[in-house]
Amino acid sequence: MTRAAWLLVVAGAIALPGAASAHLQRPETVIAAIGKVQSRAAHGVVSVARDAHVQRLLIVRVGPAWDALPADTRRTLAEAWHHDWRAAVPDGIVGVVDATSGHAVMNFDAHGRARVARPGPPPDQEAGSRNSLKP
């Protein structure tokens, strides 16, 4: 191996841990960022917390101000929260739910893309579904 190639390998090995750690976030940091007072008022966030039983689940409860936002804005916010949570928690999942009813207001596909959920209870609610996160 030439000296130049060796130096590139060493430089890459030194830079890699720093670059990798720069992208890692702590779960508490993500929760704090979503729950900031300014964000809460502007985005309709009522509360944000990690689920007590399923630690990889982040529950973001939203109120009426959330519904007043354009659908594209809600989608963008939810996808950003999902992205940040996945960066902080391996295989993390995010539930964006109505603070009053506990029903999901956003759904995510396998790629983390969000879509606005149908308002009201899920269609299978009568069959004893546990698809809502009531407070």
**pLDDT higher than 80, residue 71:** yes
| pTM of the predicted model as reported, rounded to 2 decimal places | 0.71
Q: What is the pLDDT of residues 30-55, one digit of tens each?
A: 999 998 866 667 789 999 999 999 99
Q: What are the structure tokens assigned to 15, written together?
A: 């830079």
Identify the residue whose tokens are 């509360």.
47
* Domain boundaries along the sequence of the chain: 26-127
Angle (nearest 5°) at CA 121 between 79 and 45: 40
Distance in angstroms (rounded) separating the CA atoms of residues 37 and 102: 22
Distance in angstroms (rounded) separating the CA atoms of residues 80 and 114: 10
Q: What are the structure tokens assigned to 52, written together?
A: 């007590």
* Per-residue model confidence (pLDDT) at position 43: 86
